[in-house]
Structure 1
């Protein structure tokens, strides 16, 4: 399983369908919001890891070990885990939550509260995905930064033992080697076509 399946495959469609149903919004809005939420969360995690938070992220991934992906439908059918999701958002985004929600809201036409709910729905899934990658590739605390860097457009995929099949280039829309606001804006029109 790679990140593109989380974004564009059947899994991505399940997440979008669930978000649309839970919030009573149309699927286009849900696709836009989910399609932006995943890269934003990965970028924030990567930034945290590079700023000395790799050990904390590694510890969190011991709890989020990827089991959520084994029964994603069950997780989504029960409405996700908003408490866990909000906790992850507090750690990952801190006081930038509303800025991220506003940016995604402008693109998707959703209000900040709706976007926060989508972020909280997606956050445990993203952590589960990372936890599964960590296990499958036997990544230790020291490799968390490389793992995250490879997912958001870094060049360290090989040293992290992760094969993304060119997905990092897909995320890096402007080709500068980093995932930033311009990349996310460029991605919004491309997800789930």
Structure 2
């Protein structure tokens, strides 16, 4: 039986799933079913749009990343939708739709008669499921980037036809019509096929010893360059951090030689930070509370995976991921900020300096980032706002291992990335 993306995903998000999701999200089962009927082709259209825009290599990276997703959890969600899958889903949606994912979720909610938050949660489940299904198919059949494009091109008509007209998806994606997306991917797939044929033909001519072998060699090289250009992915972006003004250490002495840093020799100015819900926080000028609230209230400041804010009053017990009691103040402050800005979604990152064992440092940074997410959850932050934790170890350390501790301490921190606001 031929592989059918739409039908495979419909089987995953079946009536049983809709019933359980409706119970979890406080929606009607018919509303959930209608929403899924729009979400499945919408997510797949996002895949087509990304591929047709010349980022087939980037899409292949997403597919491979999602191939290991445990989709069996979708069949048993009595205890709630799997948090790990939702966290991945939010990242995938950001890659597919950028800052339009919220608008698309709103359109789905209006179309299906459900809450925008419910539509957003369903989209977060559907995105890794769609990519995971494609990834597993690619692995089992040995598909490369060109094969992936051919497969999507063969199914584009059914996918685009399944998008409900009431969603206005073309306008949200910034295209004249959904047919434009289909046209782009058809053109790209045709270019790849033509380039591959040129390479094959050139090789045959060279092997035959024809007098025009130099000409064909040039054509072959040009075709290979064309393939490279079409299949190249997006380059890795530099991971940047918005540092607090008077950054204190957030990682104390550990078995991995992350030495404690002394508090900055300045007197920090205490301030009051007022939240939209009227709650007032005790904080420091230039601290994470001050910077984060200003960022969230600024309509011109865009959320994204490359903008991070450092905790500046968060510490751990020596050599462990146990948060010290006095650090709970800043945990509670961040929880209050997230509650006051319910649309905000964050990811927590852990970092170390370049000294010690890299593997141990990375594991410790992961454990500490996870501990912060756990603490925020315990402080009643909604699960949908917490997009997971990741330990980067010394990957982004700027100071050399033999640099003075005054320089290395800046590399030891826990940070928060605002992915949506």
Do these two structures clear the TM 0.5 threshold for a shared fold by scoring above it?
A: yes
Identify unmatched segments of 5+ residues in structure 2. Answer: 169-421
Aligned to 1:121: 125
Aligned to 2:44: 42
Which runs of structure 2 are paired with 1:26-65 in the superposition (5 Å)? 26-65=28-67
More strand by share: 2
- Distance in 2 of aligned mates of 1:83 and 1:76: 18
Which runs of structure 2 are paired with 1:1-193 in the superposition (5 Å)? 2-3=4-5, 4-7=7-10, 9=11, 11-65=13-67, 68-70=70-72, 72-74=74-76, 78-80=80-82, 81-153=85-157, 168=158, 171=159, 173=161, 182=165
Specify the SS of the correspondent of 2:67. coil
- Distance in 2 of aligned mates of 1:108 and 1:34: 9
More helix by share: 1
**Structure 1 residue 71: Cα displacement:** 5.0
8 A contact 1:5–1:12 mirrored in 2? no
Root-mean-square deviation (CA, aligned residues, Å) is 2.6
Question: Please, what TM-score do these two structures have when normalized by structure 2?
Answer: 0.35
8 A contact 1:68–1:75 mirrored in 2? no
Identify unmatched segments of 5+ residues in structure 1. Answer: 154-167, 174-178, 186-193
**Structure 1 residue 181: Cα displacement:** 5.2
Matched length:
163
**Structure 1 residue 151: Cα displacement:** 2.9
Change (3 A) 1:183 1:55: farther
**Structure 1 residue 131: Cα displacement:** 0.9
8 A contact 1:29–1:108 mirrored in 2? yes
8 A contact 2:107–2:167 mirrored in 1? no
**Structure 1 residue 180: Cα displacement:** 5.5
**Structure 1 residue 146: Cα displacement:** 2.2
8 A contact 1:64–1:128 mirrored in 2? yes
Higher relative contact order (CA 8 A, sep 6+): 1
Aligned to 1:157: none
